[in-house]
Structure 1
Amino acid sequence: MLLADEFFCVAHDDRTGRSRLNPRVLGLGLAGALLGELVLFGRIVIDDGEVCVVRHGPPADPLAHETLMQVLAQPQHREVRTWLAYLAETAPDAVGRRLARAGVWRRVERRRFGRVRVSWLPVDVNVVAWRPIRLAGLLISRDPIGVPDVMLAGLVAVTGLTGAVLWQPEGRELGTARLSAEVARLDRSLFHLLAFVEAAVGDAVLAPR
């Protein structure tokens, strides 16, 4: 799974499909993950608070390609905060649809009082439930952790989902310590992207509803 797909699975209950985060925080976490995918694909860097395109070639993944095209189409908007806020509006549905095409989640529409309410349900509970277990196993082990998984762990931390991953008391301290150490080693772009996601989440939590 790509970064945003992994985060989507961790951020939703594997049985009910309900989000563990409020909608604004979920959107920001997924927006950060989509930008993170472009960094990992070598298409953008984060420099001085701005999104800078360094390669124009389309990534193989259609959603990553679409995200890159959006950035290229609006060169006047370069601030990371602006792109997080913009992508957060559509990221939950876009990532959910990508996972639906992969057969991991299914989109459910319910109509009530003339309005359509969209929810997501796991196709295979075991596949979804394994995502946080897998990440926890990496964090409490001595095995090397790949950069995408470190970025995933960072997004989990800054959005307040650590308890959904490191839920077993005996591994929480070790896992949290390793998470902090690994995030500190991320390259400049990913580390700064996490910092911007964390700040945006903080603003969203404090903002009046």
Structure 2
Amino acid sequence: MTMLLGPLADDLWRIGHEDTTGNPWIDADSMGLGLAAGLLGELWLGRHVRIGQGRLEVAVEQPSPVDGLGESIVRLLAREASDFTLASWLSFLARDSYEQVTRRLAEAGHVRPQRRGLTGSAWVATDTSRALAPALRLRFRLGKGYPLVSYELALLGLLSACGLEKALLYPANTPGVLRERLAEWLRWPDMPPALADLVKHTRAAAGRAVLTARHPQLSL
């Protein structure tokens, strides 16, 4: 099987869009939160931040991320003097996470804009097989019952948290089996506490976003 491509937020973006049309599987707010969580997940996987009890902490002893987007987020965190809550940073990063991750993919040559007549344009994959690789990999490993590495577990957890399970399970031959195994992994007692915390707060933020969209008066 093809390896996952990474970075984490890029693979979330790939799974979150239909590969040939560029249509998103979920609403813009949920996508933004998922990608924001993906960016923080990248920093956690790279040991650039620590996550625990709903808070973030920069790992000052670690070198800066090689990726420019990750480096800019670490710089923002390093300048913060008081608010290191996950909820606040998810909300803050979600404002422009979609644009930032799309730009990173475009600069790497993985997506390109495609005109849609008079209605504007959408971003589509330049290589369909590359775009489908993360979802195919996850379906394969879940279907075979193989153990998951931290990256795969993080990707599955954040996909579930922001509402992208359908994008992963819908095309599969045995979605019920995959859904059951996904649920087992998300209940896994040995899941890294930092990842469990990130998934929990992402799910909560996505739930609040959906509720606010349905009842705008709640945000007043």
TM-score by length of 1: 0.89
Q: Corresponding residue for 2:20? A: 15
Structure 2 unpaired stretches of 5+: 1-5
**Matching residue's letter, 2:147:** P
Instruction: Tell me whether 1:54 sits opposite 2:59 in the alignment.
Output: yes
Instruction: Tell me whether 1:125 sits opposite 2:128 in the alignment.
Output: yes
Query: How much does 1:168 deviate?
Result: 4.7
Query: How much does 1:26 deviate?
Result: 0.3
**Matching residue's letter, 2:154:** M
Is 1:28–1:197's contact at 8 Å kept on the other side of the alignment? yes
Query: How much does 1:173 deviate?
Result: 2.6
Query: For 1:110-189, what aligned pairs fall within 5 Å after superposition?
Result: 119-168=122-171, 170-183=173-186, 184=188, 185-189=190-194
**Matching residue's letter, 1:162:** E
Query: How much does 1:44 deviate?
Result: 1.2
Query: How much does 1:96 deviate?
Result: 0.8
Is 2:145–2:181's contact at 8 Å kept on the other side of the alignment? no
Moved more, 164-173 or 190-199: 164-173
Q: Distance in 2 between matches of 1:168 and 1:18?
A: 16
Partner-residue secondary structure (3-state), 1:42: coil
Q: Distance in 2 between matches of 1:169 and 1:26?
A: 22
The number of aligned residues is 206
Q: Corresponding residue for 1:102? A: 108
TM-score by length of 2: 0.85
Partner-residue secondary structure (3-state), 1:119: strand
Query: How much does 1:129 deviate?
Result: 2.5
Q: Distance in 1 between matches of 2:32 and 2:171?
A: 27
Q: CA 1:65–1:109 in 2, change beyond 3 Å: closer, same or farther? A: farther
Query: How much does 1:118 deviate?
Result: 6.3
Q: Distance in 2 between matches of 1:75 and 1:139?
A: 42
Q: Corresponding residue for 2:92? A: 86
Q: Corresponding residue for 2:198? A: 193
Partner-residue secondary structure (3-state), 2:57: strand
Structure 1 unpaired stretches of 5+: none
**Matching residue's letter, 1:17:** G
Q: CA RMSD in A?
A: 2.2
Partner-residue secondary structure (3-state), 2:174: helix
Instruction: Tell me whether 1:37 sits opposite 2:42 in the alignment.
Output: yes
Is 2:30–2:163's contact at 8 Å kept on the other side of the alignment? no
Equivalent of 1:64, from 45, 70, 76? Answer: 70
Query: How much does 1:72 deviate?
Result: 1.0
